Amino acid sequence: MKQSLLDKIASKDARIGIVGLGYVGLPLMLRFAEVGYKVLGFDIDTSKVDALMAGRSYIEHISADSIASARQQGFEATTDFSRAGEADTLILCVPTPLNKYREPDLSYVLNTIDALVPYLRKGHLVSLESTTYPGTTDEELLPRIESRGFKVGEDVFLVFSPEREDPGNPNFTTRTIPKVCGGVTPACLETGVALYSAVIDKVVPVSSTRAAEMTKLLENIHRAVNIGLVNEMKIVADKMNIDIFEVIRAAATKPFGFVPYYPGPGLGGHCIPIDPFYLTWKAREYGLHTRFIELAGEVNSGMPDWVVGKVAAALNTRKKSINGSKVLVLGIAYKKNVDDMRESPSVFLMEKLRDLGAEVAYSDPHVPVFPKMREHHFDLSSVALTAESLASYDCVLLATDHDRFDYELIKQNAKLIVDSRGRYQQPFDHLVKA
């Protein structure tokens, strides 16, 4: 089994199945197609499948042209999981959010594997890419696969290989970001390394699926904790009347032992605010508390309130209150130069300002209309930034510093600017750093 799978991968005859065609699955599909593999994509969202089959993209930084050329290369998308047997690999890229108790919600992963298991066959390679706690692959996927009578490592191969992506960063591509891979058995690892080495420059094998799962969590916890640290430093520096961004720029000139992280109005995105709590939950099973994770979460989730306090203080200097003021929030994606709004702190800011009585508007060149979100609703479209529109607001809150904003225009025309991103380095009269 193993050798025939390895041969198919080497000759590019292997058909690559990717389950979940979102921010992770779609770029991976494009990379396999680019190298010459035929890809069969699965998703439960009919509108996405229809868009892809028509050669359209639904992610801003993925072009329709690239989808169309993948289609020419044999890429197909489907909602029909009974076609899983047509693929040689099944790479799972489905969401792993938290539930309302901030505990891991594995339902997407489990629904996916349950939908695939009836169609598994000998020779399949299953790879889980979704970020999750150590033990998910061997505690949840392995028994479900073996329930069909397959022996993992002989009949079916199972690996965990976490996705690493930095959407909007032009310096890295799927191909050039090294990929970690851990297998349930040495044969599983061998097939996983062969698969990813076909499309990725550097594959980093680790000894187990648990080591691979923990690697991804360490990476994201490292970011969450360091961002929590600089956010706390920002609050302290602000009270001392020191510009934290100037301090970070200066510290970053140290050529060793310092890694710059930048404070902001809170944490956003599908990964950093969520993934660390997968470990927190699992650690409890071992009687352990993840204190750094909890502390960073506390600091980071308090940042929108701190920024709102800055807006209130700034308006106060103009003898105004938040209640009744017109506030324009600049940037509602969770980070610069992307259109992804998941967990965006800008949305929390908008809600808090609205709840305090502000008339809230937003401008974001990447998000023309406020999208339908499960827990948030604003019936708003992006305000075009002109001298007149800027001057009509009591306060402009810079929440996400997209490069496409005209910062000089904003500076010249806004009455009051609260900058939570350190974009304006030099002070001026109507600027408040937050």
Ligand X SMILES: NC(=O)c1ccc[n+]([C@@H]2O[C@H](COP(=O)([O-])OP(=O)(O)OC[C@H]3O[C@@H](n4cnc5c(N)ncnc54)[C@H](O)[C@@H]3O)[C@@H](O)[C@H]2O)c1
Rg over alpha carbons for the chain, rounded to the nearest Å, is 24
The correct pick among 18, 19, 279, 416 for binding ligand X (CB under 6 A) is 19
Does residue 104 bind ligand X (CB under 6 A)? no
Smallest distance, ligand X to C-beta of residue 337, A: 13
Residues 224-283 that bind ligand X (CB under 6 A): 270-271
Residues 40-79 that bind ligand X (CB under 6 A): 42-45, 48
The correct pick among 67, 93, 212, 338 for binding ligand X (CB under 6 A) is 93
**Within 10 Å of residue 60's Cβ, how many Cβ atoms?**
15
**By C-beta, is 180 or 358 nearer to ligand X?**
180
Token pair of 83, please? 């076609």
**By C-beta, is 47 or 253 nearer to ligand X?**
47
Q: Report the phi/psi class of residue 135: left, alpha or beta, with left for phi > 0 and alpha for psi in -120 to 50.
A: left
Does residue 131 bind ligand X (CB under 6 A)? yes
**Within 10 Å of residue 155's Cβ, how many Cβ atoms?**
18
Does residue 219 bind ligand X (CB under 6 A)? no
Stretch that binds ligand X, among 16-24, 178-186, 276-284, 424-432 (CB under 6 A): 16-24
Does residue 111 bind ligand X (CB under 6 A)? yes
**By C-beta, is 153 or 192 nearer to ligand X?**
192
Picking from 139, 300, 141, the residue whose alpha carbon sits closest to that of residue 228 is: 300
**By C-beta, is 87 or 93 nearer to ligand X?**
93
**By C-beta, is 163 or 364 nearer to ligand X?**
163
The correct pick among 66, 108, 168, 281 for binding ligand X (CB under 6 A) is 108
Q: Alpha-carbon distance 259 to 78, whole Å?
A: 43
- The secondary element (H helix, E strand) that includes residue 433 is strand 431-433
Residues binding ligand X: number (CB under 6 A): 27
Assess contact for 145 and 126: CB atoms under 8 A. yes
Does residue 94 bind ligand X (CB under 6 A)? yes
**By C-beta, is 138 or 340 nearer to ligand X?**
340
What is the length of the chain?
434
The correct pick among 2, 17, 23, 141 for binding ligand X (CB under 6 A) is 23
Smallest distance, ligand X to C-beta of residue 308, A: 27
Give the DSSP per-residue string, 113-182: HHHHGGG--TT-EEEE-S---TTHIIIIIHHHHHTTTPPBTTTBEEEE------TT-TT--TTTS-EEEE
Angle at 229 between CA 226 and CA 231, to 5 degrees: 110
CA distances from 401 to 310, 329, 333 (A): 18, 11, 10
For the annotated catalytic residues, the residue numbers are 271
Judged by the rule CB under 6 A, the positions of this chain that interact with ligand X are 19-25, 42-45, 48, 93-96, 108, 111-112, 129-131, 163, 165, 167, 270-271
